[in-house]
Amino acid sequence: MRGGRRPVRTGWALRRVQQVSATRAFARLAPSVLPALDRGVHRLTGGRVMLSALLLPSVVLTSTGARSGRRRRTPLACMPEDGGRNWILVGSNFGRTGHPAWTYNLLAHPDAVISRRGEDVPVTARLLEGEERAAAWKAVLDFWPPYAAYQARVAREIRLFRLRRR
């Protein structure tokens, strides 16, 4: 996204992308292709542009590795809340069996940084549980319906994190 443009959120193209992103083939291919493309474009543009942000609001999460202690950069779609003061991250892992590594990192080290539109924002992450998670999950499904297909494919409960600006 450039110049504060909002992601495309209506029309037949969006519906088609949602249909494709809910497939098992997408879940097999996307994890090895999309993050690498997003990281490269993000780096080349000084953090101002992410390809995935053309469809969904996106950030690059910089967290501390749960076991390694190293800084890890992960491009992720997010759902802004409260006018962009908070964000929900969805640990869908494209509907694959295991939780994504970045969720373990946030559980071990909740203080992190997100990069969005060229700005680094220090945040604290909190795993959502119970009624709070249920309300956020409903909002997430309204925001991006393919998450329902991801949840239907896995036995684990998809983790949701709320990020608050520090």
Does 111 map to a domain? yes
| pLDDT band for position 50 (cuts 50, 70, 90) | low
Domain of 121, in residue numbers: 11-165
The Cα 72–Cα 69 span in angstroms is 9
Number of domains in the chain: 1
Q: What per-residue confidence (pLDDT) applies to 4? A: 43
Q: Residue 89 belongs to a domain with what CATH number?
A: 2.30.110.10
What's the gap between Cα 113 and its chain centre? Answer: 13
Q: What is the mean pLDDT of residues 51-78?
A: 88
Does 6 map to a domain? no
Does 121 map to a domain? yes
Percent of the chain with pLDDT over 90: 55
Q: What is the mean pLDDT of residues 159-166?
A: 97
The Cα 22–Cα 43 span in angstroms is 28
Q: What is the mean pLDDT of residues 12-31?
A: 72
The Cα 34–Cα 28 span in angstroms is 11
- How buried is residue 121: exposed, middle or buried, by Cβ count under 10 Å (0-12/13-18/19+)? middle
